[in-house]
Copies of this chain bind each other. A is one copy, B any other.
Amino acid sequence: MSTRPRVIYLPLGGAGEIGMNAYVYGYGPEDKERLILVDLGVTFPDMDGTPGVDLILPDMTWLMERRDRLEAIFITHAHEDHVGAVGHLWEKLGAPIYARAFTANIAKRKMEDAGQPEGAVKVVSAWPQQVDAGPFKVGFLPISHSIPESSALVIDSPDGRMIHTGDFKLDKTPIVGEAFDPDLWAEVAKSGVKALICDSTNVFSRHAGRSEVSVGPEIEELVAGAKGMVVATTFASNVARVKTLAEAGHRAGRSICLLGRAMRRMIEAAIETGVLTGFPKVIGPEDAAHIPRDHVMLLVTGSQGERRAASAQLARGKYNGIELKEGDTFLFSSKTIPGNEKGVIRIVNQFSEKGVDVIDESSGGHYHVSGHANRPDLEAMHDLVQPQMVIPMHGEHRHLREHVKLANAKGRAGVIAVNGMMIDLSGNAPTVAGYVETGRTYLDGSVQVGALDGVIRDRIRMALNGHVTVTVLLDEDDEPLGTPWCDLMGLPEMGRSHAPLVDVLEEDLSQFLGRAGEKTLSDDGQLEEGLRRIVRNSAMGEIGKKPEVTIVVSRLQ
């Protein structure tokens, strides 16, 4: 083992996926590196793979086992996939959390919600302030994105400077928050940058990104021309967009009403921390319900069709006393994230049934821009920073791979580093230093369970196959007392025999018990195995499905 110090980069989440960002940097001799963590985000469950799960967190086991070496946690911005896990995982990591004011405001609320000390979150100013974190000095370099105060991190190590972009776009007119300042970036990069660790999500988008300011005129025109009530949804954290929407409503003589907890919370946080000023006065839902509908504009949560959010509730019926109807307009100032299409389409159709006109991406207008750097913007960033190497982060494998190709095309070294790949950045090109076990932790109700614990797998199996409980009672001599019985859940009542499935199963189990010898009856394992096989085969014949089975053998002593 070498004792020469090295710089390492180790993604524990966010590399090989979109969401759940968590990146470790280290400096020191092998296995003695002092560590920092950049971002601690979540990703969202779905019925396909994680039914009933509340949130998905990165598996932090590797870092927990090295918490004595962890100097600090830095949060680049307040999106859930960067800050969402702080409340759930901080206790197991223990290091101070550094963030700028707006991000810290959100992080503190998350700590509070989880019963963790808010004081662990430290507010830091933008570059040129730097935080000392063991061998590192870390500064928050402003960058534009779809949430206020996003920052890249300038990570100075004894072995050179690294820049971790965080999520970003190159926006010189972001409406809220700092404009992208290429001069400042050039200044920071001037002394030489070892590695640019760079957002990859939009590498397949071929046109240059558009500024937040570009959606204003069309939104304003749309709202000005609308007749009934106007409702708009966007990501609540896109404070600039919320402001654009609110101002469009205000100019059209409409009172603004915010619906949905996240929407109110984000605007509050933005006002509290001074990043948002001049937001039009808002009214409550009671007032909104009682003034003429053409004088109201609602700004609501639920742009992704989330069932419990305001937009879905409005689509289903009355919400907070407000009901949409024929002649109203509903605007999606957002894009649908892949996987959410069905939920969004459900809402659109529900509004269609009410006669509400829905305006979205397909309507020909232009009411949304992405918060991420597109391919030409990534190239511009590479050229501006002139790093020795490019390490693509935040993206699926296809994004990381394409981003490495992009870097290589201009002669820059790069590496596809997915979660769990430890990269040594010490030399002139990145090298793979090892592999670490990573994965996902599920927040399931109030409990954290490992993705591979089998808990969710069993739930999926019950969803696919249904469930049968078999109860057998045996006396002191291991003789059956009465016949076995079955309770079914999630299975059809009748099968091929046109007799109740439960009767067929009980009859087959009864015959099995009649045939079973003393050896089987006296051995719980054998007996359960036999009963399970009968249920599965018998159900297969009757209904074409092998259910999950719970066997309960009760023995009188």
Contacts and interface: CB of A to CB of B under 8 A. Distances in A.
Number of this chain's copies in the complex: 2
Given A358-B398, A552-B471, A339 B338 contact: no
Contact of A47 (B463, B493, B548, B552): B463
A184 interface: no
A401 interface: yes
Given A473-B554, A495-B447, A556-B481, A48 B342 contact: yes
A68 B515 CA distance: 50
A455 interface: yes
A491 B455 contact: yes
A489 B467 contact: yes
A397 B347 CA distance: 11
Question: Secondary structure of the A side of the interface?
Answer: mixed
A464 interface: yes
Given A47-B47, A349-B396, A489 B458 contact: yes
A366 interface: no
Contact of A341 (B341, B348, B364, B485): B341
Query: Considering the complex of A and B, which 7 residue pairs feature the smallest CB-CB distances, nearest first?
Result: A445-B544, A446-B544, A463-B463, A459-B490, A445-B545, A51-B463, A338-B341
A449 B348 contact: no
A552 B487 CA distance: 8
Nearest to A18: B345
A460 interface: yes
A386 interface: no
Interface in A382-415: 396-398, 401
A353 interface: yes
A464 B51 contact: yes
A275 interface: no
A444 B492 contact: yes
Interface residues of A, number: 67
Given A52-B490, A447-B495, A447-B543, 10 more contacts: A46-B47, A51-B463, A52-B465, A447-B492, A447-B496, A459-B466, A463-B463, A467-B550, A471-B554, A485-B552
A264 to B, nearest CB: 25
Contact of A445 (B362, B473, B543): B543
A456 interface: yes
Nearest to A363: B204
A100 B120 CA distance: 73
A157 to B, nearest CB: 30
A145 to B, nearest CB: 22
A150 B452 CA distance: 48
A469 interface: yes
A206 interface: yes
Nearest to A450: B492
A342 to B, nearest CB: 5
A338 B342 contact: yes
Interface string A458-486: 11101111110101010000000110010
A15 to B, nearest CB: 12
A494 interface: yes
A165 to B, nearest CB: 21
A352 interface: yes
B455 A492 contact: yes
B455 A459 contact: no
Given A52-B545, A204-B362, A398-B352, A449 B492 contact: yes
Interface in A276-331: none
A345 B396 contact: yes
Contacts of A464: 51-52, 459
